[in-house]
Amino acid sequence: MRSIVQLLLAGSLLASCGLSAEGDHDAVVFAASSLVDVLTELSTDEESAFFGVILSFASSASLAAQVADGAPVDVFISADRQQVNNLLAAGFGVSAPQVIARNSLVIAVEAGNPLGIETLDDLSRSDVLLALAAPGVPLGTYSESMLIAADVEVSPVTFEADARAVLAKVTLGEVDAGIVYLTDAKSSSDVEFIDIPQADLVSVEYVALQLSEGTGRSDEMISELLGFRGEQALTRQGFVLP
């Protein structure tokens, strides 16, 4: 629940700022929802380049669309490279994108795993209510690619906006299982997760793109994510370093 509230507050704060990317303003970071715990931790550390920045979390596809529409953003961190490539092709970005971390896919299930879900094939069972991330968002694309490569057919009962929304469906008992990032599954004590060998069929990477030089902090934040402080924050949450 804490993370969901953070997402809502961050979005409201950004909307109320009336910032201009060309002027002097507080640094703004758009990031994939699965990074909420990492960046929130850094933003409360007075010695961090992220201290006091404005954070907004959502699906990478949604955030990229806002950047393309002119949202005043200094750094964008996507859960896949395609969203960054789309922005680069549209003329956004003031430096080369950087891979800051990697992740993997797991199956999240209700605590105790009452349906005995053990493999990816189990998600095709008629008695399993499954949630997936929506097509077009990174997690949805990763999940679809993995299922196709593994030759597993599923019938999801719901498609959600991002990993945290899929996880919430499992946590609330509205579905029996969901495919999420490992780091999101680890963030909740209300679910269990099942490692799946087929997760190796897709490469989940987080890519940071500097969009503005206006605050002078954009390059510092990306450098920090690639340095010791950022690496420590990422690995504490279960991310794999690039």
Quick one: pLDDT at residue 171? Answer: 96
User: What pLDDT score does 64 carry?
Assistant: 97
Lowest mean pLDDT among 15-24, 124-133, 134-143, 230-239: 15-24
Instruction: Give the model's pLDDT for residue 11.
Output: 44
* Top-confidence residue, 5 or 56: 56
Domain limits of the chain?
A: 2-102+205-236, 103-201
Helix, strand, coil percentages (3-state) for the chain, rounded to 5, are 40, 20, 40
CA–CA dist 199, 201 (Å, integer): 5
Q: CATH number of the domain at 103-201, please? A: 3.40.190.10
Q: Which residue has the higher pLDDT, 212 or 173?
A: 173
Instruction: Give this prediction's pTM.
Output: 0.85
Strands (E) across 38-119 are located at 54-58, 75-78, 98-103, 105-110
**Banded pLDDT at 215 (limits 50, 70, 90):** low
Whether the domain at 2-102+205-236 and the domain at 103-201 fall into the same CATH topology: yes
**The one-letter amino acid at 52:** G
Q: Any idea what DSSP says for residue 51?
A: T
Q: Is the pLDDT of residue 21 over 50?
A: no
The per-residue pLDDT for 237 is 94
Question: Considering the chain, what is the average pLDDT of its residues?
Answer: 89
How many angstroms separate the CA atoms of 151 and 234, rounded?
32
CATH of domain 2-102+205-236: 3.40.190.10
Burial class, 155, CB count within 10 angstroms (exposed 0-12 / middle 13-18 / buried 19+): exposed
With CA atoms as reference, report the closest residue to 194 among 103, 115, 114, 120. Answer: 120
CA 135 remoteness from chain centre: 15
Per-residue pLDDT tens over the stretch 49-96:
999 999 999 999 999 999 999 999 999 999 999 999 999 999 999 999
d(CA 30, CA 33): 9
Q: Average pLDDT for residues 128-149, to the nearest whole number?
A: 96
* Low-confidence winner among 17-31, 63-77, 168-182, 209-223 (lowest mean pLDDT): 17-31
Contact call for residues 207 and 97 (beta carbons, < 8 A): yes
pLDDT at 120 (0 to 100): 97
Q: Which residues pair with 180 in a beta bridge?
A: 106
Instruction: Compute the average pLDDT of residues 105-130.
Output: 97
Residue pair 49/224 in contact (Cβ under 8 Å)? The answer is yes
- Per-residue pLDDT tens digits for 178-206: 999 999 999 998 999 999 999 999 999 99
